[in-house]
């Protein structure tokens, strides 16, 4: 006889993520990994830190010239990061 209280593994994990408010941290980790994937090894090696919180992706670049180039490409970066992470995840890109 089947129990009426069965959940899928996916549903159980999603419920735990919601209960313990882990989704934002997971998205931040995924955003950091996605930046390294998108930027490539050269730019990633000149990135000191990547933060993601409440839809804002903050990219900390060590080189002033590279920072300026990336700053001018923010809208493209936002679109590409949303392709990797899911539509609407990244609302704003800040280059610091």
Task: Encode burial over 8-44: b for 16+ CB neighbours within 10 A, e otherwise.
Answer: eeeeeeeeeeeeeeeeeeebeebbbebbeeebeeebe
The residue whose two tokens read 């919180």 is: 53
Predicted confidence at residue 62, as pLDDT, reads 95
Rounded to whole angstroms, the Cα distance separating 88 from 2 reads 39
Segment 72-80 mean pLDDT: 97
Q: Which CATH number fits domain 23-95: 2.130.10, 2.40.50, 3.30.300, 3.40.50?
A: 3.30.300
User: Closest by alpha carbon to 88, among 40, 60, 54, 37?
Assistant: 54
Span 19-41, pLDDT tens digits: 888 888 889 999 999 999 999 99
The average confidence (pLDDT) of the chain is 91
């Amino acid at each position: 006889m089947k129990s009426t209280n069965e959940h899928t593994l996916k549903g159980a994990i999603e419920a735990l993520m919601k209960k313990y408010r882990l989704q934002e941290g997971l998205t931040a980790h995924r955003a950091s990994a996605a930046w390294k994937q998108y930027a490539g090894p050269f730019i990633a090696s000149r990135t000191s830190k990547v933060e993601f919180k409440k839809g804002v992706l903050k990219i900390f670049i060590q080189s002033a010239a590279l920072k300026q180039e990336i700053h001018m490409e923010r809208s493209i970066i936002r679109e590409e990061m949303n392709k990797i992470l899911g539509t609407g995840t990244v609302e704003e890109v800040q280059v610091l």
